């Protein structure tokens, strides 16, 4: 391997590690939303970071409290799904666009589900070797609403139900087949 090839390999590995670290921030943030884990959401922002959701601009260190209050007030359940993700890295700055699909069960319309499709448009910075969000702006592209059904039959009611805290099954360490989890039928496995 030549010196130029080795240098290119090192640059490629650095780029791939940065891309993965940046995507991990975006995914951790979505997970924090759906588990109402404010520490996890807040850890994705620098102290001088901010999030814009339409008319609401929230400092990064306060984002988790704002998001949890907003989601608890308006919804029974919600899921944030990250799909397409692009990322341009220039030194210690990255500009990203991540498509998000939100599935929400609004308290104002029992028996209905709302689906929102939009994008997170982010500027992240690497400081002391760590990537975090400095600016997040959220776009909404599509909203739709329709009938929603809770798990109704004997089989689906036995599946684990998500929790808005660290009691959620995804926090179980180690994950075991008998790790306790609430189910849709009201029982705990």
Fold of 3-148: Nuclear Transport Factor 2; Chain: A, (3.10.450)
Identify the H or E element spanning 144.
strand 130-147
φ/ψ of 157, rounded to 5, equals -70, -15
Per residue in 19-56, pLDDT (tens digit) is 999 999 999 999 999 999 999 999 999 999 999 999 99
In this predicted structure, what is the pLDDT of residue 124? 98
Query: Which residue in the block uniquely carries the two structure tokens 């995914």?
Result: 27
Among the residue ranges 27-36, 153-162, 172-181, the one predicted with the least confidence is: 153-162
Q: Closest Cα partner for 44 from 86, 59, 57? A: 59
Domain map of the chain by residue range?
3-148, 150-189
Find the helix packing angle between 3-35 and 63-74, rounded to 10°. 40
In this predicted structure, what is the pLDDT of residue 189? 77
**What residues form DSSP beta bridges with 13?**
none
């Amino acid at each position: 391997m030549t010196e130029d090839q080795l240098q290119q390999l090192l640059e490629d590995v650095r780029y791939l590690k940065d891309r993965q670290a940046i995507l991990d921030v975006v995914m951790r943030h979505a997970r924090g939303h759906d588990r109402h884990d404010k520490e996890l959401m807040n850890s994705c922002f620098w102290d001088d970071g901010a999030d814009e959701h339409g008319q609401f601009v929230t400092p990064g260190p306060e984002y988790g409290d704002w998001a949890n209050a907003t989601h608890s007030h308006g919804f029974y359940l919600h899921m944030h799904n990250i799909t397409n993700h692009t990322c341009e890295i220039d030194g210690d700055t990255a500009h990203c666009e991540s498509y998000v699909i939100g599935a929400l069960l609004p308290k104002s319309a029992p028996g209905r589900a709302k689906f929102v499709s939009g994008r997170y448009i982010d500027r992240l910075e690497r400081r002391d070797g760590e990537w975090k969000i400095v600016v997040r702006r959220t776009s909404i592209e599509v909203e739709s609403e329709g009938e929603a059904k809770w798990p109704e039959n004997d089989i689906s009611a036995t599946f684990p139900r998500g929790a808005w805290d660290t009691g959620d099954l995804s926090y179980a360490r180690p994950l075991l087949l008998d790790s306790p989890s609430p189910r849709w039928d009201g029982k705990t496995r």
